[in-house]
């Protein structure tokens, strides 16, 4: 698994693992709402797949989302 796929999996797992923590879930959902609609606006694309598309087509946005998640300690460095 490449680095992008690994980070996408970390984000997906963080979302699932932290779902019941409302404050942390809010941060992740706000990032998803901000960044993922540009690649998956149909509402049917799984978050993992949308994150991969974001990395492929909008790398700067992907990097910013990852930075924000790391700044909040939601995914490992």
Segment holding 67, helix H or strand E: helix 59-71
pTM of the model: 0.91
What tens-digit pLDDT sequence spans the chain (77 residues)? 699 999 999 999 999 999 999 999 999 999 999 999 999 888 789 999 999 999 999 999 999 999 999 999 999 98
Contact 77, 69 (CB under 8 A): no
* Phi and psi angles of residue 44, each rounded to the nearest 5 degrees, phi first: -110, -15
């Amino acid at each position: 698994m490449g680095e992008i796929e690994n980070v996408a999996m970390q984000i997906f797992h963080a979302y699932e693992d932290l779902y019941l923590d409302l404050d942390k879930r809010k941060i992740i959902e706000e990032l998803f709402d901000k960044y993922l609609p540009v690649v998956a606006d149909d509402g049917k694309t799984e978050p993992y797949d949308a994150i991969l598309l974001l990395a492929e087509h909008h790398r700067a946005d992907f990097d910013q989302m990852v930075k924000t998640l790391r700044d909040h300690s939601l995914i490992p460095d």
